[in-house]
Amino acid sequence: ECRASSPPAAPKAPRLPKEPKAPKEPKVKRVVTVAELRDDDIENDDDCFVCSVGGDLVCCDYCEKSFHPNCHIPPLLELPRGRWKCMECSAGERKKKSRCGQCENCLRKDCGKCMFCKDKTKFGGNNTLKKPCAERVCQFANYAAMVPASVSLQQTVTTPGRKTKAKHAASVPPKTPGRKKRSRPEPDASSAPPKVRPRKRSKLLG
């Protein structure tokens, strides 16, 4: 039997070369600053962040904290101009902690009793921990880069009956600060009239 021959298949169209894709632009991560995160409607504190007392305060432009010029580390000898960043905001940007070398703990000698001292070679240890004495931890580790040589040191003064901490004044006398944003005036007890509350009259039942 004769079989009908199938017609020849049509030739396939040649594939066109693909167009080269344009290189993708690298994604750039946008860094959000603290100033953008802060809401302009947030008001600064009316009390100093260090001593919790009102008065003439310098307000941080990057957070809600306020400071007396002498309470800030380092002390502010002049009123800052423009946008000002406080010690807390500046310390948060530091990645590596260091020692100020001037506080009470930095000036102490090794106690020789803690586990870090016993590990040192001078006390007969193997020096495997490689950490300073537990009693020599810097009090201003986060602010060490900002502490100048004239900053006041805290020393313990022993008096009969109790112990108090006294601060030595800085070598440079601070100037009289102005008011930057806000200050809370202290109320004058002599000028303010005493408040009198009206008495409530009770109704008599008939």
pLDDT digits (tens, 9 = 90+) for 72-131: 887 888 888 888 888 888 776 555 556 666 678 888 899 999 999 999 988 988 888 888
Would you say residue 158 has pLDDT above 80?
no
Q: Give Cβ neighbours of residue 13 (< 8 Å, ≥ 6 apart).
A: none
121 in a structural domain = yes
- Residue 191 belongs to a domain: no
pLDDT band at 68 (very low <50, low <70, confident <90, very high): very high
Q: Exposed (0-12), middle (13-18) or buried (19+): which is 123, by Cβ within 10 Å? A: middle
Range of the domain at 42: 35-94
Computed over every residue of the chain, the mean pLDDT equals 68
The answer to whether residue 18 is domain-embedded is: no
CB 70 within 8 A of CB 197: no
Element (H, E) at 89: helix 87-92
Residue 1 C-beta-side C-alpha neighbours within 13 Å: 2
Does residue 112 fall inside a structural domain? yes
In-domain check, residue 29: no
Question: What's the pLDDT at 10?
Answer: 73
Could you tell me if residue 49 is inside a domain?
Answer: yes
- Cα separation, 172 vs 113, in Å, equals 39
More confident residue, 8 or 36: 8
112 and 101 in a common domain: yes
Q: Do residue 76 and residue 87 come from a single domain?
A: yes
Distance (Å, whole) CA 69 – CA 80: 10
Q: What is the CATH number of the domain that holds 50?
A: 3.30.40.10
Within-domain flag for 60:
yes
Query: Is there a single domain that holds both residue 39 and residue 90?
Result: yes
Tell me, yes or no, whether 50 lies in a domain: yes
Are residues 87 and 45 both part of a single domain? yes
Could you identify the residue written with the tokens 């020599």? Answer: 136
